[in-house]
Amino acid sequence: MAWISLFALLSFALPTFASEQSAEVEQFLSSAFKETPEVHDIWLTGELRPVVHDILHHDYPLARVRYWRSGSRSAWVLDEIGKERPITVGIVIDHDRIEKVSVLTYRESRGWEVKSPAFTAQFSGAGLDDDMRLDRSIDGISGATLSVRALQKLSRLALLLHRRSMMGEQP
pLDDT the model gives residue 6? 37
Among residues 149, 133, 115, the alpha carbon closest in space to that of 51 is found at: 133
Question: 48-56 and 145-166 helices cross at what angle (nearest 10)?
Answer: 160
Number of alpha helices (DSSP H) and beta strands (DSSP E) in the chain: 4, 5
pTM: predicted TM-score of the whole model, two decimal places: 0.84
pLDDT the model gives residue 109? 86
pLDDT the model gives residue 111? 84
pLDDT the model gives residue 169? 44
pLDDT the model gives residue 12? 40
pLDDT digit string (tens) for the chain, length 171 residues: 544 443 443 444 333 334 456 889 999 999 999 998 999 999 999 999 999 999 999 999 999 999 999 999 999 999 999 999 999 999 999 999 999 999 999 998 888 899 999 999 999 999 999 999 999 999 989 888 999 999 999 999 999 999 999 987 443
Among residues 106, 105, 114, the alpha carbon closest in space to that of 145 is found at: 114
Among residues 166, 164, 150, the alpha carbon closest in space to that of 49 is found at: 164
**How far is residue 44 from each of residues 41, 62, 158, measured CA to CA in Å?**
10, 8, 12
- In one-letter notation, the amino acid at residue 126 is A
Q: So where are the chain's domains?
A: 2-166
